[in-house]
Amino acid sequence: MLANTDKSITDAPRHVVLIMYEQAKLLDITGPMQVFKDACEVDGRPAYSVTLASREGGQIRTDAGVALATETIEQAMASDVDTLLVMGGTPADSALATQSLRACLAPYLNIPRRIGSICTGAFILAELGVLDGLEATTHWGKCKKFEGLYPEVKLRADAIFVSSGRVWTSAGVTAGIDMALAMVEHDLGNAVALKLARDLVLFLKRPGGQSQFSVELQQQLRDARGRFEDLHGWIRLNLDGDLSVPALAVAAKMSPRNFARVYARETGESPARAVEQIRVEAARRLLETAPDSVKQIAYRIGFGDDERMRRAFLKAFGVSPHDYRSRFGRALH
Sorted by where each begins, the domain ranges of the chain are 14-199, 215-328
CATH topology of domain 215-328: Arc Repressor Mutant, subunit A (1.10.10)
- pLDDT recorded at residue 225: 61
Which residues are CB-contacts of 103 (< 8 A; sequence separation ≥ 6)? none
- pLDDT recorded at residue 328: 67
If you count DSSP H runs as helices and E runs as strands, how many of each does the chain have, helices first?
Answer: 15, 10
> In whole angstroms, what is the distance from residue 50 CA to residue 30 CA?
11
Question: Could you tell me the pTM of the whole model?
Answer: 0.67
pLDDT in tens, 257-274: 999 999 999 888 899 999
123 and 93 in contact (C-beta within 8 Å)? yes
Q: Are strands 114-117 and 161-164 parallel, antiparallel or unpaired?
A: unpaired
Give every residue of the chain whose pLDDT is below 70, as ranges. 1-10, 203-226, 327-333
- pLDDT recorded at residue 141: 85
Return the DSSP state at 48.
Answer: E
CATH topology of domain 14-199: Rossmann fold (3.40.50)
pLDDT in tens, 157-215: 878 899 999 999 999 888 999 999 999 999 999 888 888 888 887 765 554 344 554 55
| Closest by CA position to 16, among listed 87, 67, 66, 104 | 87
Return the DSSP state at 24.
Answer: B
Beta bridge partners of 40: 46
181 and 36 in contact (C-beta within 8 Å)? no
- pLDDT recorded at residue 209: 41
CA torsion 62-67-70-72 (nearest 10°) is 60
- pLDDT recorded at residue 200: 84
Return the DSSP state at 66.
Answer: -
